[in-house]
A and B are shown apart, each in its own frame.
Chain A
């Protein structure tokens, strides 16, 4: 029973990395994958539905840390980690604001401000996650060489996850390229699929550098369970190695998920001050959360099933289509 809250927290954080990795990574890759207004519009409509369902995992995790593991906060929010957490929060705010506000005003300038917020926010998020993991492993200092390489590796893993996601979601809803003139194929999706291979190779290289730093005395992190660290780190390395040999996105959907899921688990190599929540706290939180657990599962499964299809052409987050289309056309409704 004592391990249940810790497992719950781990599940939430791993869920966050796997699901939010898709939309954060695709946001990071936006300048490369989407260069024309129509492409950017499609990219945002691919991200937008996902982020609502994925960021709640992090909000839940922060809540669980606040309620059940208050002593974890000392590790996460002290000294240099305080600064990284503040940057992470800034990135989170920027990215969400960009996504929420982008479709509300129909001018190019507004959209480019929101796009910049989306891209820079996604990068800040990914890099600060890397610094947090690296900083934790370095004993609370996010500015060691090891932490910096860690940040780079995590950013590549996010990008890979985003590219694998983009290869599926950037395909138009129907063959006619979403109602307006354009090629029947989706060049962005092909580009994303191609990028998974490059990114997997880059990731493999940065993982190797990280491993070298660990082996090199003086630069490596001081962890309590080095064997576990090596074992967990071997997971993304293997996943990357599998993906790097393929040209298509077929496997990268799964390998990128496995690789990014291993990132937060690296912290398991540390003796984190988890503590055991007292009985009263467990009774209150367990009694209130367990009954709604089925609803959480149903909601998440339904949302992700509904969004599995290629992105829609209309909706809250989608800007109106470009004005150059001919009158009398039929807007497809799926």
Chain B
């Protein structure tokens, strides 16, 4: 993958130019699905766009010193990491990629969570700090399962290259791994039942509490891009690529949409769990699931 193609993928397709409208669309689907589940009409189609533009036009409180600079830097870092993660997704077949880009994708998908933790502590608000602590506990809990599931898929297919993973046919083991990833996604995207870091009735907005204006707009955008990256990763792993490019892209987009719809409906149907229940859920139930996936993968490799 040379520099031009890499830049084109990061900035045009499936990177920023494609991903930002998709992120707004997914944010709208999230809110609209909740509204429909509650028998409301819900926000208009362009609502996330209106919110974003409005936030760009607001002033931000003046902050001085290193913590002020850091507070400006975290949302930008989160947005660029999430956009980079989307740029790595193999939407079109034969789109390039390199050995080990799955590892880079996982690292880039992890960066927004780390930025949220750091942002909460830089804001020096007590609610921000509680939110950050919760986010840290949540990250440690779900990531073990998430990474084990991804590794089990990669090991069963003998490659850490996304393009190759997308082309290989799906096996039952792979479905087990995809299921384990799906269980982790609500926690990764901070939606119900795992919306602990930004629990609005308990700790206001958690780590975001001191953010305003354009910085808050960047956080909203990074949340939307995380949706695109997470749904795209599952779509990549779940659907094998066929020959024709446009069918693949269509399948990819419709499956991503389906995942967003599924998770939004789950979010609307559930209430928030307490932090200890969440940690216990991931360490006891989901970890067994992921352990099963990786154990059977290793056994299959030994047998082969």
Pairing of A with B: no
- Interface residues, chain B, with chain A CB atoms under 8 Å away: none
Query: What residues of chain A have their CB less than 8 Å away from a CB belonging to chain B?
Result: none
